[in-house]
Amino acid sequence: MTVYQNGLPADGRTGGGADAASMLRGVIFSVTAVASAFGAMGVVGALGVHLLGLDKYASLGPLTAALVAMAVGGKVSPTGDVSVFGIDAAAAQGSIGIMPLGLTVVGAVVLGWLFTVQLRRVAVLTVADLMARAAGAVVAFLVLLAVIGWAGSGSVAVNVSSLTGGGSSGSGSGGSGDDPLGGLGNLIGGALGDNTKPTVGFTTDLAPTLGMGLLWVVLVLAFAYLAARRAPLPAAWRGLARTVRPVASAITTVYVGAVTVGALAGAVVGLTGNGGAKTIGGALLGAPNGVFLAVPLGMGVSMDGKASGPLAHFLPAPIDTFLAGGQGKTITVSSLASLDGRVWLLPVAVVLMLIAVGVLAAVRTPRPAAGTESAAQELGGAGVRLGVALLVVTPMLLALADVKVDANLSVFGFDAVGAGLSVTGNVLLALVLGLVEGVVFGAVGAALVRAFAGAKRVSLAKADGTGVQAPAVPPGAPSGAPSGMPPSGPAVAPPAGSQAGGVYGGLPATPPQRSGPPPAHNPYAAPPVPPPAAPPAPQPVAPPAPDPYGGLPQSPQAPQPPYPGGPRPQDPPGGNPYR
């Protein structure tokens, strides 16, 4: 029940609505959320760059800014004279086509959580208020992204002698080994001089970066709001509390949890000595890339892959071994399991994930009114909702994790002359399998909840984030709630003969009458207690008789107490003159 004090809810929630001050506060909170998201991406990106050792080849600031721009869909292109490597600028334009999804997930989680957490304090949220807050977040995001794009330009020093080492790090860490270019590396080194280290610049393309950033922030805000179960919904959108919001919340919880487990696993591997700091840095920047590819692969979606040169080592095992050689191949679970039998655990893990999504979605779906929905209708509805959700989410995972490095040069700390890399999923198969498996696991999750955890389901009153509704005020009764009070439930009629305050907890003046036939005689009931007898009426006291001899009248006899030992009547004020 919402209690109001001084015209505002006692729990501190604001009224929302068309209040200009409330909208201004919401816009300020949205701008703060955007700034915090960029700050989190910058911190994680700088840490990952440092752990990978990429700051040895380029300045940490521009390199981090470029990675943040790439994380929201931006495009970074090489600049400078790359003709010394035997390629032209046109061939190098598409050299960087990998999104560091570690930064993408961090920015989306921080932005979505901070944007929706401030909505919990709004008692009544209108569409205008929500759009004002979202517009403030979008404008602030584009402004800060433009600044980051301007800062995301720099240069990387490339040691030409490293080309003879088979594409090792650009500072000359790999100067030994056979020349994979047939002597081209030695030829370039002789032409430039042994001590010459040409630099290749990189710059963030501002226009495409802002366009993709706009799409990114709109999708993140929309999905975060749909998944935020405690954020209120406008009155016209209350139906989303049962159809869209539970499924979106369940998918977000399970998938973000899978990404977190993947990042922690990479950190543990690095801390135990296998790869060290570089493994931890790679987990920070690229753990979601592996998870977003593994989930569709475990669902049965096939992928087309191709890798050549040193870029194949940037793929997880055993995909790197499977694609080595530069020939295009189809990636499936069975083909990878021929190299490593542990790959068969991937479908098992994905099945458990989808069952968890189905169970959470069923638990968070408000229970319908008793008797309004059969078991078949409930299971079918849960399956359809999750099927439609995975129909949308599964191709999105493939699009985010798509890898395409088809040029001859990379500028982020390693040389890739003559290299290429691409991994692309089958989108049509992802649509079909997402729908089918969503229907199956949605129904399975609802059946498990119905059988074992029905009491855990949320009530319809709490589904839209407004909490328990206050009782309705009967017509004509005064109301102390302001106009921003949430809509109440159905009014409760007071009992017959009750007072006006009976609906607020007062007792009725007369007890309710029992309907139906009188109860049968109970032979074990105690005999009725007779009512107490009425006390005897007081007897009148006769006045004193006059004295025939003219003397003083006799003192009247004081009345006796009504029961033995009781108090005697008191004398009148001033005493008794006849005593």
Give the pLDDT mean for 268-287: 83
As a whole number, mean pLDDT of residues 156-160 equals 55
C-alpha–C-alpha distance, residues 110 and 131, integer Å: 20
Q: Using 50, 70 and 90 to split pLDDT, how confident is the model at 572?
A: low
Q: Which residue has the higher pLDDT, 574 or 93?
A: 574
- Euclidean distance between CA atoms 429 and 397, whole angstroms: 13
Q: What is the mean pLDDT of residues 51-79?
A: 84
| pLDDT value for 175 | 37
Q: How confident is the model at residue 429 (pLDDT cuts 50, 70, 90)?
A: very high
pLDDT of amino acid 94: 46
DSSP 8-state assignment for residue 318: T
pLDDT of residue 485: 43
Task: Check pLDDT > 90 for residue 564.
Answer: no
pLDDT higher at 2 or 251: 251
pLDDT of residue 274 exceeding 60, the answer is yes
CA proximity to 471, closest of 493, 488, 495: 488
pLDDT at 171: 38
Express as a percent the part of the chain with pLDDT over 90.
Answer: 30
By CB neighbour count within 10 A (0-12 exposed, 13-18 middle, 19+ buried), where does 157 fall?
A: middle
d(C-alpha 99, C-alpha 216), whole Å: 12
| pLDDT at residue 368 in the model | 73
- Is the model's pLDDT at 316 over the cut of 90? no
How many degrees, rounded to 5, is the angle at CA 552 between CA 551 and CA 558?
140
Would strands 154-157 and 199-205 be described as parallel, antiparallel, or unpaired? antiparallel
CA dist 497 and 346 (Å) reads 69
Instruction: Give residue-wise pLDDT tens across range 261-270.
Output: 989 988 888 8
User: CA-based angle 225:228:231, to the nearest 5?
Assistant: 85
- Report the pLDDT value the prediction gives residue 124, as an integer from 0 to 100: 81
Nearest alpha-carbon partner for 445 in 564, 353, 512? 353
Which of 13-22, 227-236, 290-299 has the least mean pLDDT?
A: 13-22
Q: Which residues contact 295 (CB under 8 A, 6 or more apart)?
A: 255, 258, 350, 353, 394, 397
Cβ pair 104, 38 in contact under 8 A: no
* pLDDT of residue 136 exceeding 90: yes
The mean-pLDDT minimum among 153-162, 200-209, 497-506 falls in 497-506
| pLDDT at residue 77, rounded to an integer | 75
Q: What is the mean pLDDT of the chain?
A: 73
The pLDDT, as a whole number, for residue 484 is: 41
The predicted pLDDT at position 463 comes to 53
Among residues 484, 315, 340, 524, which one has the least CA distance to residue 401?
A: 315
Rounded CA-CA distance 116/137 in Å is 12
